[in-house]
Amino acid sequence: MSGEPGVQATQTRQLLLAAAEDLFAEHGVTAVSNRQICEAAGQGNNYAVGYHFGSREGLLQALLKTHNEPIERIRQRLVDDLGYITQLRDWLRCLVQPQLEYIGTATRRTHFAALCTQLAVDPANTALLYQEASRSPSLLRILDGLYQALPPLPQEAITVRNLMTQNILISTFADFERSRNEADALDMRSWQMFSEAMVDGLLGLWLAPAT
What is 1-54's CATH number?
A: 1.10.10
| pTM beyond 0.95 | no
Closest CA to 99 of 14, 23, 177, 193: 177
Q: Does residue 128 have a pLDDT over 70?
A: yes
* Domain spans, the chain: 1-54, 60-207
pLDDT tens digits for range 81-110 = 998 888 999 999 999 999 999 999 998 889
What's the sign of the alpha-carbon dihedral 41, 45, 50, 56?
positive
DSSP string, 120-189: HT-TTTHHHHHHHHHT-HHHHHHHHHHHHHSPP--HHHHHHHHHHHHHHHHHHHHHHHHHHHHSSS--TT
For residues 186-207, give the mean pLDDT.
92
Return the pLDDT at 123: 81
What's the longest Cα–Cα distance across the chain? 63
